[in-house]
Amino acid sequence: MLNPQLSSLIITTEGLNRITSILNKLRDETNARYIILVEKSGQMIANVGEDNPFTMPLSALVAGAFASTREIARLVGETEFSVMYQSGQNRHIYILSLKTQDLLTVVFDEGPMLGIIKLKTKQVADSLSNEIVSMMKN
Amino acid sequence: MALINYSTREIHCKIVFYGTGLGGKTTNLEYVHKQLNPSIRGEMVSLNTANERTLFFDFLPLDLGSVQGFRTKFSLYTVPGQVEYNASRKLVLNGADGIVFVADSQIEKMEENIESLKNMEENLAEYNMTLDSIPWILQYNKRDLPNAASLELLEKTLNTRGVPSFEAVAFEGTGVFATLKAISKEVLNRLT
């Protein structure tokens, strides 16, 4: 029998549905290509939007990159950098660190949407954090 | 941090390959990547320097079948082995569900192996983990080299806890899958 008490994150169908609903609404409002919710050690919790065969390595890389910025923040005397933004010619990525240190990752095409993405991700951050906290077991 | 998804009936676990620089951690993942069908493994990601020394980590996702109706997915990571990259090693260890310590069997590397094991223990402590609390196994790599230490000496020096240990020649694949099978079993046993 699987013992969920020994693991750290239990994703129920109801919990995943609530998270997916939040992410889908965020995607509609920001016109994002896809959105991934990444657990802080690099595993993917949920994703919405277009199919992407690289979701797993992308999650690992996002967590790794953000972990680096956390250390950089510490070394320069800052508590943390809560946001990371990378802008390309055609594709952009915006990453917001939640209270739980999990990462809301938005991949989008339209650069001018950045302001809306900043606003909308901030608005859903608490809801997502609360969902993750409710899924955590020690 | 193991992730159990009841919605998709999947278990996701993180396994970290730890050890000294040039000990064979990346080689283990490269061999697994080369041998496995793309249907059960993803792309390997390597963040390394120009001369292919691991700078941050290597990453390889695997699908290793089912347990009690749950598909088991493993993310394999390596850490950079060079001494100066300890900050990166610490970051990669975050959320590890199991560790393979890859020891370089060469007798001249014994002290480095000991230091690396001690370093692993110190980094685990930062996450409130100990070598008694996390599943881990030992791989004695490079068994083919003429200056390889005896198995008895390696066991006596590095395996004071009596964890499962495996001999390997990673670049040709000997012991690689036995190691992988063992650590995935240890990790899943903790969850069941």
Residue B86 belongs to domain with CATH number: 3.40.50.300
The Cα–Cα gap between A27 and A68 comes to 27
In this predicted structure, the answer to whether residue B113 has a pLDDT above a threshold of 80 is yes
- CB-CB neighbors (< 8 A) of A2 in chain B: 4, 11, 67-68, 70, 191-192
The average pLDDT across B159-166 equals: 97
- Proportion of chain A above pLDDT 70, given as a percent: 93
Domains of chain B: total: 1
Q: Domains of chain A: which residue ranges?
A: 40-131
Contact at CB, B7 and A17, closer than 8 angstroms: yes
Q: What is the dihedral of CA A55, A70, B101, B111, to 10 degrees?
A: 150
Q: Which helix (H) or strand (E) holds B15?
A: strand B10-19
The Cα–Cα gap between B110 and B181 comes to 26
Residues 6+ apart with CB under 8 A from A138: A8
Give the 3-state secondary structure of residue B46.
Answer: strand
The Cα–Cα gap between B133 and B125 comes to 11
pLDDT digits (tens, 9 = 90+) for A113-122: 899 999 999 9
Cβ–Cβ contact A57 with B under 8 A: yes
Cβ–Cβ contact B47 with A under 8 A: yes
**Does residue B93 contact residue B32 with C-beta atoms inside 8 Å?**
no
The Cα–Cα gap between B2 and B129 comes to 14
- Write phi, then psi, for B59 (nearest 5 degrees): -140, 135
Angle between the N-to-C axes of helices B176-191 and B25-35, in degrees from 0 to 180, rounded to the nearest 10: 90
Pick B51 or B153 by higher pLDDT.
B153
CATH of domain A40-131: 3.30.450.30
**pLDDT score of A67:** 85
**ipTM of the predicted structure?**
0.78
The Cα–Cα gap between A134 and A131 comes to 5
Cβ–Cβ contact B40 with A under 8 A: no
Q: Which domain holds residue B63?
A: 3-191
The average pLDDT across B133-140 equals: 96
pTM of the full structure: 0.89
CB pairs under 8 A between A and B: 102
